[in-house]
Chains A and B, each alone.
Chain A
Amino acid sequence: MKRFLLPLAVFAVLSAFLAAALSHDPRRLPSALIGQPAPAFDLPQLQPDGPRLSNADLKGQVWLLNVWASWCVSCRDEHALLVEFARRGVAPLYGLNYKDEPDAAREWISRSGNPYVASIVDGNGQVGIDYGVYGVPETFVIDKHGVVRYRHAGPLTAAALDTRIVPLVRRLQSEQVR
């Protein structure tokens, strides 16, 4: 009886590891930017009459950056959630229009609703690379000091918004600016 105990223990540990790995989605990568200052940008806005927007303009408030494109199919899955999020007025949502045709982007937004305070145009994808974007859509939460605090890769879900992003935004908003 005793001689089966060790192999059984090894098997149990192995099974636990494999079970944990099964529930781990390899497409969800940790962001290297968490706790780091948000990479700088200075880009034109999607709306032709708007001024250029830089990350320095957004300091002092908690804001969200949503990477989107009109060609991105899974962005459509989260669009209604973004519009609803913007309507609730939790925090300003900015868009990073990633490697898109500005005309197509404007058309998509005017047709389906614009959740963004402003969208900036990242035509060649450089700012996307600086933010470590590897798939559109992605959403970042940036605190009052301009530090990246959270990154959601892939389309947002109601659960991710309600259980993680909104509580985090509220907590960050109550932080004092040093």
Chain B
Amino acid sequence: MKPRLHLTRWTVPAALCVVLCGALHGGPSRAAESDAARIRELEQSFRCLVCQNETLADSSADLAADLRGKIAEQVANGATDAQVRDYMVRRYGDFVLYNPPFKPLTWLLWLGPFLLLCAGALVLARVVARRRAMRPPQLSADERRRADALLNRTSEDCGP
């Protein structure tokens, strides 16, 4: 009887301890996980200056490793995405962004495809309109008579 009583006395505190520790542990690790996801996302939004066609996340260049370290360091210090982006742009210019900002210098870059599309649609509309306006050439009375004669003869030839 006694040992069982002993057991029940310690079961509740022990269980509580486990639950509490789990809760305490779960908090920071989830935050760390979301931080890691943010860091990965940020790394993928920057261009590696050395390889130029790779993101910081993909590049194995020395500088890319350093810059990944900088991003992680800033995220750990509580920097927002905008602050990290600003840090990079201040040093390396817009070129470092895989998603270039929309500003006068990049208007042609962003709007160019739509302009081309509009120009294409305009040309297409004009061609279609011109084709539609075209009437098949009318036969003169003489030509029609000759055509009828030819058609009649053909149908007679083929008739039973």
- Is the CB–CB distance between A132 and B92 below 8 Å? yes
CB distance from A124 to the nearest CB of B (A): 8
- Is the CB–CB distance between A129 and B93 below 8 Å? no
- Is the CB–CB distance between A32 and B93 below 8 Å? yes
In the assembled complex, which residues on chain A have CB atoms less than 8 Å from the CB atom of B49?
29, 134-135
The answer for the CA separation of A135 and B92 in the assembled complex, in Å, is 12
Given A125-B66, A129-B67, A134-B63, do A29 and B50 touch, yes or no (CB 8 Å)? no
State whether the Cβ of A26 lies closer than 8 Å to any Cβ in chain B.
Answer: yes
- Is the CB–CB distance between A29 and B66 below 8 Å? no
Which size bracket describes the interface of B in this complex?
10 to 19
The answer for the CA separation of A125 and B61 in the assembled complex, in Å, is 14
In the assembled complex, which residues on chain A have CB atoms less than 8 Å from the CB atom of B91?
32-33, 129-132
Which size bracket describes the interface of A in this complex?
10 to 19
CB-CB nearest in chain B for A99: B62
Given A134-B49, A134-B50, A134-B63, do A29 and B95 touch, yes or no (CB 8 Å)? yes
Which positions 38-75 of chain B face chain A at CB distance < 8 Å? 49-50, 52, 62-63, 66-67, 70
The answer for the CA separation of A129 and B90 in the assembled complex, in Å, is 10
In the assembled complex, which residues on chain B have CB atoms less than 8 Å from the CB atom of A32?
89-94
| 21 examples of A-B residue contacts, CB within 8 angstroms | A26-B52, A29-B49, A29-B92, A30-B95, A32-B89, A32-B90, A32-B91, A32-B93, A33-B91, A99-B62, A125-B63, A125-B66, A129-B63, A129-B66, A129-B67, A129-B70, A129-B91, A131-B91, A132-B93, A135-B49, A135-B50
The interface of chain A, by Cβ under 8 A from chain B, is: 26-27, 29-33, 99, 124-125, 129-132, 134-135
The interface of chain B, by Cβ under 8 A from chain A, is: 49-50, 52, 62-63, 66-67, 70, 89-95
